[in-house]
Every structure is written in structure tokens, then in C-alpha cells.
């Protein structure tokens, strides 16, 4: 009985917090279904009086957001697949393969985590221009293909693989690559899923770099196209909300599907090795 | 047997590392070094048409940045964001973590997921949503204030309120991330410490002060430093919501850098600005580490 | 105008035929040439409606329009230039022409103009001049823009004036009279602090060149700019203008309608906006007037604004690109464009059209367009204008004394122009001198 009041208060606070957190997102979805101009009312409506799909239709027809969605999807999926493999190989090497300079090299990489990405953005743009990849999806992928944080995460997880397991396979005559493929990857599977989710989310949501590197609206990713639209259609609240829903929906769905894995990854990432 | 095995491992290791190292080397380290070199030149719009007009100018870009009132204005804005938004964000995360992790709380994973949701959303999309939420007349936020009989605020039009509005958005978007880290930290505190304290007659407040907080100190440090580093780099929110306005009150250093670099094409100047920001971030991190981690 | 059309079809058909012949070997590919056109803002939205006629005349050309918001246009154009992904033809704000000419990004149009059905004389002189850099022509004016006074006739009448006096002193007296009439809570003129156009216009009217020495030194602290600047500041000191930015006024049109201010220095897009947003019964209460000048009407110059059509050097379809530019410069197409956007046509002869000539509110624009001057044609101009706006605002709000504001501005601008000075000293400024 003594616990009832504190428990009620606690849950009231939790629910209030949840409501405040979700309100912007719920309003975003709700407004996307309102007829044009309905959201600009005093007081602002929370639910649509009449539901309309017009804005979504306009996004896909007149504004060609399907193509933009496709661009984002192609770039994100490709970068996620490639980077997961690349980071896994490097992370495993740092954890389990013995070679000279291993610890020092790893420390250099960790130290580099402090450097903000923007420092190199301008020269990187000129580099990308030099190799003729400006305004292509490959240019957008470049910064996402290998990630120091990803390597760190994999290494953390891979450290737990028992050495005897690997040595036994070596004695049996397996090559390092076969060991990686047959023994290590299956063991790393959970963290690979986590890392892939991380990479998908961050690549999908990336804004500043695609903004810089893409100049053709046929090649835009969703965040860039959305920012572009918002410059022109400031007055069209409901249309912009529909665009936002379209951009946020895939990552939200992915997150909800993978939440356990993803959340565990975040919490793991905070544990310093 | 072990020696050939080691040589084989060594060769294999470089093979495994090669893709990642080549990518990170070429597309991360090389641009940063190139940026450093560029910051000592006057690379600008004239240079693009005629590369032979690039001059080596030594530290003159750095001098210009450090004596520019525009830069210090941006630095003040960024500092306000870090100094006010940082603690606010960390505090909100801590409160959320304490609530969710509480022994009395049920449906923990539901609330945890809900609070984390804003973190995964696309910044541009939510900045657009918030731009409408913060509208003086049609926005839900002012409607909410009105329901509480508080005066409406011109969030994005008043230079005094624009940065607080961005802080509000940033806290909402990011508190879930640090909440998870705090939860991890809270869960790592051994039960025995609480039991011992309770046996000693400590009430819940005292237990919080003497067990929870000290045990969380390293987590606090980690969260504080990581949050601060990230906040120094804020760009998307002012770019989408306010374009640095009103009256340049939301121009942050990275936004200014973007303007100088990609709008006016003063790349030498912009890269030097990036390095100055980097240096400031390092100093601030060192200070925070000293202040918070000192007692070790 | 039929004559123009006939002349248009023949070369168009010939070009199409030539294209067909040339491409007849590549039967499997789509033989149509694709022209990429970048349009900004409202013009970008509307221009595709004009292109049907062009594509009919040139069946082997297809135009793809990309819309870019003004807020991102400058950096998008520059990034495209650096990344070698520029379009074939683009709308370009004419204050940006010097910059893209300096970059050698846009194509000089000299020899094409020689065969064109129009020439410099077809356009307002001051506007044409914005496209001439170092003696070469880089763009063709598309639509023009200038700033002049929109005002409340009825409020001015109550103050005893039936029009805006053409001299600064007369104008000042009129504003004071209006202020006496409307009282302490209202104002005579709206000068938003986030607009750099009014102080620059007044400085230009007072005779300031803004930049000197081939655009390599600031002239903001000399006496002529100071004269315009003081006139501007006095309007705030005498409480004739409210010290606010555009953002601080919730709805400018509502305030104009309410009489919160009686005058506003703004541009042609507001002709349409005023018609749309002001109540029907107030449509007779407002009018336009050319800018007064320090010494009378002739000195009442204004800015030569607007957009040009330019062709990029990297374009692989320059002949077709020029055809597009020619097409969009035809008087009848310009008129149609005006009907769709409200943007003022660049070609002088279109102003003879009954629709344009019949609108009394347009007369002020025609008069003003004969008295416009370009801003200094340096690539840094836009950035300079923005810094000026910053310092002007501080002077108005009183946080910095005017002397120091102008001195600091000049210092900053001098620093910005340092590279240009160096280039000039080494004789490398050819191509970008005004």
C-alpha cells in the first residue's frame, strides 16, 4: 500500500513524458492527412476533421518523391551491406589476429574519433570532384563505408570469441578467411545486426554531406529533397508533414523491428574497452 | 608451427584491415590533412577558375577568424547552445533513466522505446515538423502555453527565443540516447551498495546522493563529454529551421563554416574555422575531464 | 509579332532538320537533345508552362526544368560549377553575374547576339549593363526588378500631399506630415532592418560608388555614402520608421492595410501581392511612385535587379541553349511570363502592350527602370551586402555609433576584397573588371 502513491506518481510522470515525446510525431502524421490549409488554424487542430491522401499522392506524382525514396534506399542499403562487411573484417582483425602494431594502430583510430567530420568535408568534396564522382550516389556513400565506431563495436564483441576455437580451426588447416567466414561471422551475427541497423539509420538520416555533394534533384536523398521542398513550400504545412512522414517511416519501422538489438548496441557502445 | 601461423595471421590481418584502412585513410585522414594545408592558403572562388592564383598565407586565415566579430558571434551562439542545452539535455536524460529504471516502473521496455524514438528520426524531417509546432499562431507549443494561460512566444522570430527553441528541439531529439547510457550505468550499480546503505538507515534521497550519484560519476563524465562534443557541431537544426536567423542569433560555428565554405567559397577561411572549432572542442573536453574526472 | 514568330520557326526547323541529319546514324537512341534548365523560386515553378511552345518549334529538343529555392540557389550553382554538373541554361540573379563571369563558368554571348533578333537597345540600359562584365556580355535580361515606393494615397492625402515629392527634402517633409497625421503609434515608412536595399539605394543616390579602385576597396566611410546613411538613420531617429526587421511584423500586408505605415520601399512582386492580400475596397488607396532623389527626380536612381538567362560554358548543347534563351526573350513569351508571375519583362517593347501600359501602378516602374544602376560588379558583392545589413542594423538600434559601424564595415569589406586587390596588383583581374 505504501508503494501505491509513489507508483502512481511515477507512472503518471512516465505517461506524461511519453505523451510529450510522441506528440510531435503524432501531429506530424495527423497533419499529413489534413486538407490543405487546415493545419494553419487557431487553435491548431490535433486530429484531421477530414482525412485526405492528397498530399501523399502529390508527393509521389508531381514531386516525384518515389525516385528520391529509391535513391535513399539504394544508397543506404548498399552502404550498409558494404560497411558491415568491411567493419567486421577490420574489427575481427583488431580483436583476434596477431600482428605487429595492432594496439598502437587501434589507439590512433580511437583518437581520431574526436575529430569532427566537418573538418575534412571541404577537401573531401574537392577530392570527390577530382575523381569525377560529384553528384553520384557513390559519393554519398563514401563517408559511410568504413566507420571507426563500427570497428570498435565489432572488436568489443569479437574479443569474447575463445582463442582455442580459432586455433583449433587453424590446426585443422583452415585458412584465416575460411575461419572468418565459417566460425567468426556466425558468432558475430548479433552485433552485425546491431551495426547494420546503426549504419542504416545514420546513412538514411545523413544530411550535410549529401546536401553538399548532390546538385541534381533527380539524385537527391530524402533529407536533402525535404529541405529543398521546405524552402519552396513553406506555406504547405500538410504537404511538408507528408514528406516528413515518408522520410521518417522507414527508419522508425526498422528501429521498432530491431529495437532490442539496437538498444543493446547503444548501451554496449558506452562501455569503454 | 606457431611461427608460420603467426606470419599467416599477419598477412591475413592486413588483408582484413585493408579495405577499412584504405577507406578511412583516403576519405578521412587525407581530407583532414588536406584541410590543414588548405587552411594556410587563400583558396577561394578565384582559385577555382584559376588555380595559379592560390597563395600561401600562413596563419592569416586563423588571424582573420579569431578577430572576426561574425565568428565570435557564432561562437557565443554555439556556446549558449552547449552551455544551456548540454546540462538540460543530460539532466532530462538522467531523469528519464531514473524513472524508467525505477524498481516500481512497469512496462519498462515500452517507455524506453518511446523515449528513444525521437533519436532515430531524421533531423531534417523533425526540424520541419518543429518549425510548424513553434509557429507563433498556428503552433501546438503556443497553443499549449495558451492553455496554461501563459503568453505566446515568437519562437522563431524573436532573436532571444530562437536559440532556446532550437535547444528545445535538440533536447527532445537526443535525450533518449543518453537515457540508455544512464540506464546501463544505473543497472551496473551493485544491489549490495543500496542494501548496505538502507541498513545504515539511509532514506531514498540519501541513497540517491551517496550511492547512485557517485556510482554514476563515470557515466556522467562520458555522457557529458560526448554530448558536448556533438553539440559543438550543431548544423542541421539552424539550417532548416532558421537559416541562422533571426538577426543571426542562431548562426552556429558549423553553419558559419558552411556559409563561408559553400556559399561564398572561401575554403581557406572555412577550413581554418573548422580547426579552430576542433581546438575549442578539445580544450572544452579537457576542462570538463579535469573538472569532473579530477577526483580519481 | 507574327514576323517574329515566322523568323523563329525557320531557323528552328532548320536546326531541327540539321540535328536529325546529324543524328540519323544513331537510330536506336532517343535523338532528342535534352536541355537542362534551372529556375529559382516562383519563376522555376512557372517556367515549364512557357516551354510547350519552344518544344513544339524545336521537336528535337526537350527541356528539363529543375527548381531550386532561392535560399539554396547560390551554393547549388557554385557546387554544380565545381563539380562540373552545371545545367545548360539557368536563371541567374543579375547580382551574381559578375561572380560567375569571374569563375569563367558562363559563356560570353557576344557573337550569338550579333545574329539575334534583339540587342542591347531592346532592354532597359541599366539592366543590360548588369550583364556586361569587362566589356563582354554574359547574360540576357529575363525579368527585371527594382525598388521603389509603394504608398497609401489616402494617408498621404490626409497629410496634404497628392504624390511623393521628387526631392529628398520634400519627401522628408511629406513623411513628417504623415507622422503628425497618424500619431506616435504609427509610422510614415517601413524600412525592415533585414533588407540591405534601402541604405544601398540611398547611398547610390547620394553619389557613392560603394566600392572603388575596380571594386577592390570599400567606400562606405566616404562622405557620399555617409550622406545617404545619415538620411536613412534620421528616418529612424525621427520615429518616421519603426526599428524592426521583417520577421517582427506578423503580416506586412495587414499592417499596410491598417495604416501602421504609409510607405514601403519594395519591388514588383508586391503588385500582385497587394492586389491579392489587400481588401478590395482598399485597392484604390495605394499607389506606386519612383524614388525621390537628393536633387530631384533625375537623381532618384534605384537598383538594377532582376534575373538574367545565362548559358554555362560546360554545356554541350550551346546552340540549343541559345535558342531557348532567344525564345524566352521574345516579347510575347515575356508577356506571358509576366501574366504568370507578375515579374516585369526585361524587353522595353513589351511595356507598350496594353495590359502593362493600362495599369497605372506600373507607370512608376517603367519610369524607375529608366533610372537604375547596377551594383558594383564584383563576385563578393552579395556577401558585402549582407555584412552591410548587419552593421546598418546595429547603427539603427544604437548598439554601435554610425561612424564606427561604417568604419568597421569598411574594414571587413576591405579584408574580403584583399584577394581581389592582389589579383589586380598582379594584373590578373581581366574578365572581372566592371
Which subunits sit against C, judged by 3+ Cβ pairs under 8 A? A, B
Q: CA of C155, closest CA in chain B: separation in Å? A: 29
Check: CB of residue C58 under 8 Å from CB of residue C9.
no
Q: Testing the interface with C: which of B42, B44, B45 to mutate, by most C Cβ within 10 A?
A: B45
B180: which chain A residues are within 8 Å (Cβ-Cβ)?
A: 263, 266-267, 270
DSSP strand pairing (C148-152 vs C261-266): antiparallel
What pLDDT is attached to residue B191? 86
Looking at residue B261, what DSSP letter applies?
A: I
Check: CB of residue B295 under 8 Å from CB of residue B243.
no
User: Three-state DSSP class for B159?
Assistant: helix
C81: which chain B residues are within 8 Å (Cβ-Cβ)?
A: 48
Give CA–CA dist C265/B155, Å, rounded.
27
* Angle of the A4-32 helix axis to the B108-120 helix axis, nearest 10: 40
C245 vs B246: CB contact, 8 Å cut-off?
Answer: yes
What pLDDT is attached to residue C9? 44
B45 vs C105: CB contact, 8 Å cut-off?
Answer: no
Q: What are phi and psi of C136, to 5 degrees?
A: -110, 150
Cis ω on the peptide bond leading into residue C117 (within 30° of 0)? no
Give CA–CA dist B188/B190, Å, rounded.
6
Q: Using pLDDT thresholds of 50, 70 and 90, give the confidence band for residue C83.
A: confident
Taking alpha carbons only, the member of C58, C321, C318 closest to residue C329 is: C321
What pLDDT is attached to residue A99? 85
Phi-psi group of B58: left, alpha or beta (phi > 0 → left; psi -120 to 50 → alpha; rest → beta): left
- pLDDT tens digits in sequence order for chain A, 273 residues long: 567 888 888 999 999 999 999 999 999 999 999 988 787 777 788 888 888 898 999 888 878 889 999 999 999 999 999 999 999 999 999 998 888 888 899 988 988 877 877 778 888 998 998 888 988 999 999 999 999 989 988 998 898 888 888 888 888 888 888 889 988 999 899 889 989 998 999 999 999 899 989 988 889 999 999 988 887 776 788 888 999 999 999 999 999 998 888 888 777 766 543
C84 vs A129: CB contact, 8 Å cut-off?
Answer: yes
Give the CA diameter of chain C: 79
Taking alpha carbons only, the member of C189, C360, C207 closest to residue C293 is: C207
The C-alpha cell at C281 is 475596397
What is the CB neighbour count within 10 angstroms for residue B214?
Answer: 13
User: Three-state DSSP class for C301?
Assistant: coil
- The more confidently predicted of residues C224 and B2 is C224
- Residues facing C93 on adjacent strands: C307
Check: CB of residue C202 under 8 Å from CB of residue C232.
yes
What pLDDT is attached to residue B3? 62
Looking at residue B83, what DSSP letter applies?
A: I
Q: CA of B73, closest CA in chain C: separation in Å? A: 12
Length of chain C: 434
Length of chain B: 296
Residue B30 makes CB contacts below 8 A (sequence gap 6+) with A123, A127
- pLDDT over 60 (residue B37): yes
C79 touches chain A (CB under 8 A): yes
Which subunits sit against A, judged by 3+ Cβ pairs under 8 A? B, C
B50: which chain C residues are within 8 Å (Cβ-Cβ)?
A: 428
- pLDDT over 90 (residue B256): yes
**DSSP-assigned states of every residue in C68-117:** E-HHHHHHHHHHHHHTT---SEEEEETTTHHHHHHTT-B---HHHHHTSS
Question: The cell 548532390 sits on which residue?
Answer: A214
Q: Testing the interface with B: which of C247, C379, C393, C409 to mutate, by most B Cβ within 10 A?
A: C247
Check: CB of residue C364 under 8 Å from CB of residue C290.
yes
What is the CB neighbour count within 10 angstroms for residue B201?
Answer: 7
Check: CB of residue C245 under 8 Å from CB of residue C192.
yes
Check: CB of residue B95 under 8 Å from CB of residue B89.
no
Instruction: Give A135: exposed, middle or buried? Use CB within 10 Å, 0-12, 13-18, 19+.
Output: buried
What pLDDT is attached to residue A245? 94
Task: Tell me the domains of chain B and their CATH numbers.
Answer: 3-53 (no CATH), 60-295 (1.10.3720.10)
Task: Tell me the domains of chain C and their CATH numbers.
Answer: 32-145+304-373 (3.40.190.10), 148-303+381-416 (3.40.190.10)
- pLDDT over 60 (residue C417): yes
Taking alpha carbons only, the member of A251, A268, A264, A256 closest to residue A72 is: A251
Check: CB of residue C245 under 8 Å from CB of residue B247.
yes
Check: CB of residue A120 under 8 Å from CB of residue B32.
yes
Q: Using pLDDT thresholds of 50, 70 and 90, give the confidence band for residue C285.
A: very high
A134 vs C82: CB contact, 8 Å cut-off?
Answer: yes
Q: CA of C48, closest CA in chain A: separation in Å? A: 13
> Tell me: the pLDDT tens digits for C117-158?
998 999 999 999 999 998 899 999 999 999 999 999 999 999
Instruction: Give B163: exposed, middle or buried? Use CB within 10 Å, 0-12, 13-18, 19+.
Output: buried
- The more confidently predicted of residues B248 and A270 is B248
> Tell me: the pLDDT tens digits for B150-171?
888 888 878 889 999 999 999 9
- pLDDT over 70 (residue C294): yes
A185 touches chain B (CB under 8 A): no
% of chain C residues with pLDDT over 70? 91
Check: CB of residue C63 under 8 Å from CB of residue C35.
yes
Tell which B residues from 60 to 119 touch C, by Cβ distance under 8 Å.
Answer: 64, 68-70
Find, in chain C, the residue whose alpha carbon is nearest to that of B153.
C248
A213: which chain C residues are within 8 Å (Cβ-Cβ)?
A: 79, 83
Taking alpha carbons only, the member of C312, C308, C268 closest to residue C96 is: C308
What is the CB neighbour count within 10 angstroms for residue B119?
Answer: 19
DSSP strand pairing (C61-68 vs C302-303): unpaired
Whether domain A53-272 has CATH 3.30.70.360: the reply is no
DSSP strand pairing (C217-218 vs C211-212): antiparallel
- pLDDT over 90 (residue C70): no
Q: Testing the interface with A: which of C77, C79, C84, C88 to mutate, by most A Cβ within 10 A?
A: C79
What pLDDT is attached to residue C247? 66
Q: What are phi and psi of C428, to 5 degrees?
A: -105, 15
- Residues facing C68 on adjacent strands: C40
Residue C295 makes CB contacts below 8 A (sequence gap 6+) with C167
For residues B44-62, give the mean pLDDT: 85
Dihedral, C124, C128, C129, C131 alpha carbons, nearest 10: 160
What pLDDT is attached to residue A217? 83
What pLDDT is attached to residue B262? 84
Q: Testing the interface with C: which of A215, A229, A234, A240 to mutate, by most C Cβ within 10 A?
A: A215
The C-alpha cell at C81 is 560549377
pLDDT, chain B, mean = 88
Check: CB of residue C171 under 8 Å from CB of residue C292.
yes
**Strands of C255-408, DSSP E:** 261-266, 286-289, 302-303, 305-311, 344-345, 372-373
Instruction: Give B173: exposed, middle or buried? Use CB within 10 Å, 0-12, 13-18, 19+.
Output: buried
Looking at residue C293, what DSSP letter applies?
A: B
For residues C336-354, give the mean pLDDT: 87
What pLDDT is attached to residue A270? 64
B120 vs A252: CB contact, 8 Å cut-off?
Answer: yes
For residues B244-263, give the mean pLDDT: 88
> Tell me: the pLDDT tens digits for B166-198?
999 999 999 999 999 999 888 888 888 888 888
C41: which chain A residues are within 8 Å (Cβ-Cβ)?
A: 232
What is the CB neighbour count within 10 angstroms for residue C53?
Answer: 16
Give CA–CA dist A32/A249, Å, rounded.
13
What pLDDT is attached to residue C431? 47
Nearest-5° angle of CA C33, CA C38, CA C43?
A: 125
Nearest-5° angle of CA B166, CA B170, CA B172?
A: 120
Taking alpha carbons only, the member of B281, B271, B274, B280 closest to residue B37 is: B271
Check: CB of residue B133 under 8 Å from CB of residue B139.
yes
Check: CB of residue C116 under 8 Å from CB of residue C347.
no
Give CA–CA dist C432/C427, Å, rounded.
11
- Residues facing C190 on adjacent strands: C264
Amino acid at each position: 500500500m505504501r508503494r501505491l502513491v509513489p507508483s502512481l506518481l511515477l507512472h503518471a510522470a512516465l505517461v506524461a513524458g511519453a505523451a510529450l515525446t510522441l506528440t510531435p510525431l503524432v501531429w506530424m502524421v495527423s497533419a499529413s492527412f489534413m486538407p490543405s490549409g487546415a493545419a494553419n488554424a487557431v487553435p491548431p487542430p490535433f486530429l484531421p476533421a477530414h482525412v485526405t491522401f492528397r498530399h501523399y499522392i502529390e508527393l509521389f506524382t508531381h514531386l516525384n518523391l518515389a525516385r528520391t525514396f529509391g535513391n535513399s534506399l539504394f544508397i543506404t542499403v548498399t552502404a550498409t551491406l558494404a560497411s558491415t562487411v568491411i567493419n567486421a573484417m577490420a574489427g575481427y582483425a583488431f580483436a583476434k589476429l596477431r600482428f605487429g602494431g595492432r594496439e598502437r594502430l587501434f589507439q590512433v583510430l580511437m583518437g581520431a574519433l574526436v575529430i569532427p567530420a566537418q573538418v575534412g568535408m571541404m577537401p573531401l568534396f574537392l577530392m570527390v570532384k577530382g575523381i569525377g564522382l560529384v553528384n553520384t550516389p557513390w559519393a554519398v556513400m563514401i563517408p559511410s563505408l568504413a566507420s571507426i565506431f563500427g570497428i570498435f563495436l565489432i572488436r568489443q564483441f569479437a574479443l569474447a570469441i575463445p582463442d582455442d576455437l580459432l586455433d583449433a580451426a587453424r590446426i585443422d588447416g583452415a585458412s584465416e578467411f575460411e575461419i572468418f567466414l565459417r566460425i567468426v561471422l556466425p558468432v558475430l551475427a548479433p552485433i552485425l545486426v546491431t551495426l547494420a541497423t546503426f549504419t542504416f539509420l545514420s546513412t538514411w538520416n545523413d544530411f550535410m554531406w549529401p546536401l553538399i555533394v548532390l546538385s541534381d534533384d533527380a539524385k537527391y536523398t530524402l533529407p536533402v529533397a525535404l529541405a529543398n521542398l521546405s524552402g519552396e513550400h513553406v506555406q504547405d504545412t500538410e504537404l511538408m508533414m507528408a514528406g516528413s512522414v515518408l522520410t521518417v517511416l522507414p527508419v522508425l519501422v526498422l528501429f521498432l523491428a530491431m529495437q532490442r538489438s539496437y538498444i543493446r548496441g547503444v548501451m554496449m557502445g558506452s562501455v569503454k574497452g | 608451427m606457431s611461427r608460420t601461423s603467426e606470419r599467416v595471421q599477419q598477412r591475413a590481418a592486413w588483408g582484413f584491415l585493408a579495405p577499412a584502412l584504405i577507406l578511412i585513410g583516403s576519405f578521412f585522414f587525407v581530407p583532414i590533412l588536406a584541410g590543414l594545408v588548405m587552411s594556410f592558403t587563400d583558396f577561394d572562388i578565384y582559385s577555382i577558375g584559376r588555380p595559379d592564383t592560390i597563395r600561401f598565407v600562413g596563419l592569416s586565415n586563423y588571424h582573420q577568424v579569431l578577430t572576426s566579430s561574425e565568428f565570435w558571434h557564432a561562437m557565443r551562439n554555439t556556446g549558449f547552445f552547449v552551455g544551456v542545452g548540454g546540462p538540460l539535455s543530460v539532466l532530462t536524460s538522467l531523469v528519464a533513466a531514473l524513472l524508467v529504471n525505477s524498481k516500481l516502473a512497469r512496462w519498462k521496455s515500452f517507455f524506453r522505446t518511446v523515449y528513444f524514438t525521437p533519436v532515430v528520426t531524421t533531423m531534417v524531417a523533425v526540424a520541419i515538423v518543429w518549425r510548424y509546432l513553434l509557429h507563433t499562431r498556428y503552433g501546438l507549443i503556443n497553443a499549449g502555453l495558451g492553455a496554461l494561460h501563459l503568453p505566446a512566444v515568437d519562437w522563431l522570430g524573436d532573436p532571444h527565443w530562437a536559440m532556446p527553441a532550437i535547444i528545445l528541439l535538440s533536447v527532445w531529439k537526443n535525450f533518449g540516447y543518453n537515457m540508455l547510457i544512464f540506464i546501463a550505468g544505473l543497472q551496473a550499480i551493485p544491489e549490495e551498495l543500496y542494501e548496505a546503505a538502507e541498513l545504515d538507515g539511509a532514506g531514498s534521497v540519501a541513497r540517491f546522493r551517496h550511492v547512485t550519484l557517485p556510482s554514476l560519476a563515470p557515466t556522467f563524465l562520458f555522457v557529458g563529454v560526448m554530448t558536448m562534443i556533438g553539440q559543438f557541431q550543431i548544423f542541421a537544426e539552424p539550417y532548416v529551421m532558421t537559416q541562422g536567423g533571426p538577426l543571426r542569433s542562431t548562426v552556429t560555428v558549423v553553419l558559419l563554416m558552411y556559409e563561408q565554405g559553400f556559399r561564398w567559397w572561401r575554403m581557406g577561411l572555412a577550413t581554418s574555422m573548422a580547426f579552430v572549432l576542433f581546438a575549442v572542442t578539445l580544450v572544452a573536453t579537457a576542462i570538463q575531464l579535469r573538472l569532473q574526472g579530477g577526483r580519481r | 509579332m507574327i514576323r517574329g514568330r515566322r523568323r523563329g520557326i525557320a531557323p528552328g526547323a532548320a536546326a531541327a532538320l540539321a540535328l536529325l541529319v546529324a543524328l540519323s546514324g544513331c537510330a536506336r537512341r532517343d535523338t532528342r537533345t535534352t536541355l537542362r534548365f534551372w529556375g529559382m523560386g516562383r519563376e522555376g515553378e512557372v517556367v515549364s508552362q512557357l516551354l510547350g511552345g519552344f518544344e513544339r518549334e524545336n521537336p528535337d529538343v526537350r527541356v528539363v526544368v529543375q527548381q531550386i529555392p532561392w535560399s539554396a540557389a547560390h551554393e547549388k550553382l557554385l557546387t554544380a560549377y565545381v563539380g562540373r554538373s552545371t545545367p545548360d541554361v539557368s536563371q541567374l540573379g543579375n547580382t551574381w553575374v559578375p561572380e560567375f563571369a569571374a569563375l569563367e563558368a558562363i559563356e560570353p554571348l557576344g557573337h550569338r547576339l550579333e545574329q539575334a533578333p534583339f540587342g542591347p537597345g531592346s532592354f532597359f540600359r541599366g539592366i543590360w549593363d548588369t550583364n556586361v562584365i569587362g566589356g563582354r556580355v554574359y547574360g540576357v535580361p529575363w525579368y527585371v526588378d527594382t525598388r521603389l515606393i509603394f504608398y497609401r494615397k489616402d494617408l498621404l492625402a490626409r497629410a496634404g500631399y497628392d504624390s511623393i515629392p521628387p526631392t529628398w527634402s520634400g519627401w522628408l517633409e511629406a513623411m513628417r506630415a504623415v507622422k503628425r497625421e497618424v500619431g506616435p503609434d504609427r509610422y510614415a515608412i517601413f524600412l525592415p532592418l533585414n533588407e540591405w536595399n534601402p541604405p544601398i539605394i540611398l547611398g547610390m543616390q547620394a553619389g557613392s560608388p560603394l566600392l572603388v579602385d575596380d571594386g577592390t576597396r570599400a567606400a562606405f566611410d566616404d562622405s557620399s555614402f555617409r550622406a545617404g546613411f545619415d538620411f536613412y538613420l534620421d528616418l529612424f531617429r525621427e520615429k518616421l520608421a519603426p526599428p524592426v526587421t521583417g520577421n517582427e511584423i506578423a503580416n506586412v500586408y495587414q499592417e499596410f492595410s491598417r495604416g501602421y505605415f504609409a510607405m514601403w520601399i519594395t519591388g514588383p512582386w508586391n503588385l500582385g501581392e497587394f492586389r491579392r492580400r489587400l481588401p478590395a475596397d482598399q485597392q484604390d488607396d495605394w499607389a506606386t511612385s519612383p524614388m525621390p532623389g537628393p536633387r530631384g527626380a533625375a537623381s532618384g536612381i534605384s537598383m538594377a535587379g532582376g534575373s538574367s538567362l545565362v548559358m554555362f560554358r560546360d554545356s554541350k548543347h550551346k546552340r540549343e541553349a541559345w535558342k531557348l534563351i532567344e525564345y524566352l526573350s521574345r516579347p510575347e513569351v515575356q508577356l506571358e511570363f509576366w501574366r504568370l508571375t507578375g515579374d516585369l519583362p526585361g524587353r522595353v517593347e513589351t511595356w507598350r502592350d496594353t495590359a502593362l501600359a493600362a495599369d497605372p501602378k506600373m507607370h512608376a516602374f517603367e519610369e524607375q527602370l529608366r533610372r537604375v544602376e547596377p551594383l558594383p560588379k564584383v563576385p563578393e558583392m552579395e556577401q558585402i551586402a549582407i555584412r552591410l545589413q548587419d552593421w546598418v542594423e546595429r547603427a539603427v538600434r544604437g548598439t554601435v555609433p554610425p561612424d564606427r559601424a561604417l568604419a568597421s564595415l569598411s574594414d571587413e569589406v576591405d579584408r574580403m576584397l584583399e584577394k581581389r586587390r592582389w589579383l589586380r596588383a598582379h594584373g590578373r583581374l581581366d574578365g572581372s573588371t566592371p
